[in-house]
Homo-oligomer: A and B are copies of this chain.
């Protein structure tokens, strides 16, 4: 971790082993990218939102009705709506109204971008 040998950054494929160097695939990021990533990470920096997101994402390709998110988390419908709005505004979820209920799906490209940034180790 603290060696100072000047090895080149390993390619992504070689970096997945336990012995591999830490490497950031894209190198230093600029301030525009940093602002966009930070806004997504800020929306994720809440434990209730992470649990809601994990319930939506666990449905794979299926969207999830807001009505099915209150019971597993033990939170009220207004609280669900508040947190889901933050995730939609950050571009992490999409929202579709179907009659009385909103339905949510993950935005794969947003998570791909976060993963690409976090692709250390």
CB distance from A32 to the nearest CB of B (A): 9
Q: How many copies does the complex hold?
A: 2
Q: Is the CB of A51 within 8 A of B29?
A: yes
Q: A1-B61, A28-B51 are in contact. Are A109 and B94 (CB under 8 A)?
A: no
Contacts of A1 in B (CB 8 A): 61, 63, 94, 105
On whether the beta carbons of B62 and A50 are closer than 8 Å, the reply is no
Please name the residue on chain B nearest to A57 by beta carbon. B24
Chain A interface (Cβ within 8 Å of chain B)?
1-10, 21-24, 26-31, 34-35, 37-39, 41-42, 44-51, 54-55, 57-63, 72, 94, 96, 103, 105-106, 108-109, 111-112, 114-115, 117-121
Among B23, B44, B63, B94, contact of A60 (Cβ-Cβ < 8 Å): B23
Residues of B within 8 A of A35 (CB): 47
